Amino acid sequence: MKAHDGMYIDGQWRPAAGPDVIAVVNPADEQVIGHVPAGTADDVDAAVRAARAALPGWAATPPAERAAKIAALRDVLAARQEEIAATVAAELGAPLALAQTVHTGLPVRVAGSYADLAASYSFEERIGNSTVLLEPVGVVGAITPWNYPLHQIVAKAAPALAAGCTIVLKPAEDTPLTAQLFAEAVDEAGLPAGVFNLVTGLGPVAGQALAEHEGVDLVSFTGSTAVGRQIGATAGAAVKRVALELGGKSANVVLPSADLAKAVSVGIANVMSNSGQTCSAWTRMLVHADQYDEAVELAAAAVAKYVPGDRIGPLVNAKQRDRVRGYIEKGVAEGARIVAGGPEAPQDKGYYVQPTVFADVTPEMAIAQEEIFGPVVSLLKYEDEEDALRIANGTVYGLAGAVWAGDDAEAVAFARRMDTGQVDVNGGRFNHLAPFGGYKQSGVGRELGPHGLAEYLQTKSLQF
């Protein structure tokens, strides 16, 4: 795979400050496919300086011109979609079909939406005798995870660009090649030097240096709750803005009036997609006691279709594989019943885990409370609607969810009572313009659409 041996800073690929490199591994066969530089605080400092220097010019660029540059970036991403998909497939281990659709198609649409929003958004409003200006926050430090390598970058960079912010990105160490392709696309689209900068590296080194840098005005982080907590504390100490998109343990609530077979099969597909490495995955399925046994059978049958290596890829690395297997073992130890899958490796090579369904899961079990981030579903039984609501709302998380019922009105009435940021009603499809983000410990702030743009703006009131 093509890999740059430098950092993209101030519109150029520059040698890294230090000699260390990160080996990029294909998790499907455990082969090294390239190396990228491991950035240090010096690389981060150079990138932040470039972003600060570029800020006044980009912030003053008329929104219509910013929109045109974002549209050009969208066009480059679309033109290079095949190449990016092959890279995502190689460094994440995603099946190529998934890499060609969700992993690359969604970011192209999101980039396009911010070209449109930059052109149409009201960056100024009149309230009484005040004119309120919506101005860019400044330099954005973006720290992204590996699970949707391109989407996670675009969901931060595109709205930041639309707002008039400049950016330094520290992508996940597991998926830096996709981030390098994004930097190439920025370059090809003709964005001014310093508006977007890339520093590859390790979280506790380059990521932490970025979060702590005085020249960063807003840190936008997506990843684990543990690191999010730390970044929030760092930002709080410096009184800088922070956006956190953290984990989830979302509930898929199947009400008795629902089409059970459909709710179960869509629910299983939702968790298995991307090998369960989706923060918004519906990893808890809640079924009425009268329908529970039937749902368990349907779920076990549905999961059998996900053959590792074919329809479902590996986990991103050995650590995540071991973590997920550990949770499967824990579920057994806690008294839950495996009805499909299990902790044993499905094949010798690659970081694969068996798609697994647990029955007889009770709400206090770790497999019902903690984010597993793998192809593991827990089926919980409820007695009545109030019980279902208590279970659905009974975790520290609140990122997403689903409700199924005989009609939308019944499902919507339930969804209104859920403590969570997004709910898909009767299989309602993903909307890339709808705000995405967490209640409770699932995070702070929203991504996507106009709400995602607002994260990168600050307001100034002029009275006259």
Interaction site with ligand NAP (CB under 6 A): 143-145, 147, 170, 172-174, 202-204, 207-208, 211, 222-224, 227, 230-231, 245-247, 279, 320, 323, 371, 373
The CA–CA distances, whole Å, from 365 to 298, 360, 362 equal 23, 10, 6
Nearer to ligand NAP, 11 or 374 (CB): 374
Amino acid at 325: R
Smallest separation, CB 406 to ligand NAP (Å) = 33
Closest to 456 (Cα-Cα) out of 53, 72, 134: 134
Question: Are residues 57 and 65 in contact, defined by beta-carbon separation less than 8 angstroms?
Answer: no
Smallest separation, CB 446 to ligand NAP (Å) = 14
Nearer to ligand NAP, 222 or 420 (CB): 222
Smallest separation, CB 64 to ligand NAP (Å) = 33
**Phi/psi at 429 (nearest 5 deg)?**
-85, 160
3-state secondary structure 280-293: CCCCEEEEEHHHHH
DSSP state of 220: E
165 a catalytic residue: no
- Return the bridge partners of 158, or none: none
**Phi/psi at 19 (nearest 5 deg)?**
-85, -10
One of 279, 371, 447, 455 is an active-site residue; which one? 279
Closest to 453 (Cα-Cα) out of 247, 72, 161: 161
Tokens of 223: 């990843």
Tokens of 95: 């099946």
Smallest separation, CB 463 to ligand NAP (Å) = 40
Nearer to ligand NAP, 144 or 270 (CB): 144
One of 91, 245, 410, 447 is an active-site residue; which one? 245
Length of the chain: 464
Smallest separation, CB 120 to ligand NAP (Å) = 29
Residue nearest to ligand NAP (CB): 203
Nearer to ligand NAP, 154 or 172 (CB): 172
Rounded Cα–Cα distance for residues 374 and 355 (Å)? 8
Smallest separation, CB 452 to ligand NAP (Å) = 15
DSSP state of 305: T
Nearer to ligand NAP, 44 or 389 (CB): 44
Nearer to ligand NAP, 23 or 289 (CB): 23
DSSP state of 67: H
447 a catalytic residue: no
- Annotated catalytic residues are 245, 279
